[in-house]
Structure 1
């Protein structure tokens, strides 16, 4: 395998089912032991929190988005390929004939693998904001919470003489 580039790209590694976290921690340990932090930059097992009802109680549980796969951001060369490929529980890279194919920037963005720069908003909790689009367009609301991860704002909107809770996209509100 020839040197592909000096840029760290995201690759998908196939693992035995249920071994995703073990492969990720073993690989992280190997990277630290061999001092490869500059070549293998990041290792992720994408998960989401989903509500589950058990014994009549609802609780959030972690669910893997891609069972059987681990995402690795690395500079591909013979050494890094060998380290990842020979991690216990790893069955190989995703690609034709097990030749590693990096994810495209569009795929990385869609999968939400890399966190973008933190979102900055010009309003804060307690501010009155104007709703600029959507079904509540034209209404004013009091900001109760701002969730920059899901790009949502929780508001108390005064409709028909009553305080009504509403949740809208951050892009749908602005300071008056």
Structure 2
């Protein structure tokens, strides 16, 4: 069976939530969860400062008028998404859907990629990627939710705390 890929669907302005909800309901009612697997509206949390100085966290759409759909593209699935009220079609040349590349999916943060961490706080690690490749350090803190780890690295005779992504470090083998 073909693997599901991420596609971008264009919606009418302000209809992102409605299209996503209607599409999810359609998929469940037609029992197509194996064909249309996920529907996402990419958002980011932003701190808004009001005129009176108060701060408020709000969810803001990163791409207004677009939703991401993870699906196996067939004539039927194309038709279901395309004919959801408020959906203007897929993004691609002449409306022909073009799947996002794995790199685009990663950069957009649409899919959370889980990294298995083989080290813990206090372990000696080696940097295996990035500008500090080859350096060693000690893990200070791990934040799997944000894909980050803080390590103390000895550079030029000084201990320095450096932020890394989880997959940039590897535990030093005894």
* TM-score (normalised: structure 1): 0.73
Shift of 1:114: 1.8
Counterpart secondary structure, 1:121? coil
> Following the alignment from structure 2 to structure 1, what is the Cα–Cα distance between the partners of residues 149 and 69?
33
Counterpart residue number, 1:22: 18
Q: How many residues align?
A: 161
Counterpart residue number, 2:69: 72
Runs (4+) of structure 1 moved beyond 3 Å? 120-125, 127-134, 140-143, 153-156, 170-175
RMSD between aligned alpha carbons? 3.1
Gaps of 5+ in 2: 153-160
Cα pair 2:123 2:138 within 8 Å, conserved: yes
Counterpart residue number, 2:90: 93
Give yes or no for the alignment of 1:53 onto 2:49. Answer: yes
> Following the alignment from structure 2 to structure 1, what is the Cα–Cα distance between the partners of residues 123 and 32?
50
Gaps of 5+ in 1: 157-165
Q: How does 1:1-176 map to 2 (within 5 A)?
A: 6-54=2-50, 55-116=52-113, 118-124=114-120, 127=122, 143=140, 145-153=141-149, 168-169=163-164, 170=166, 171=168
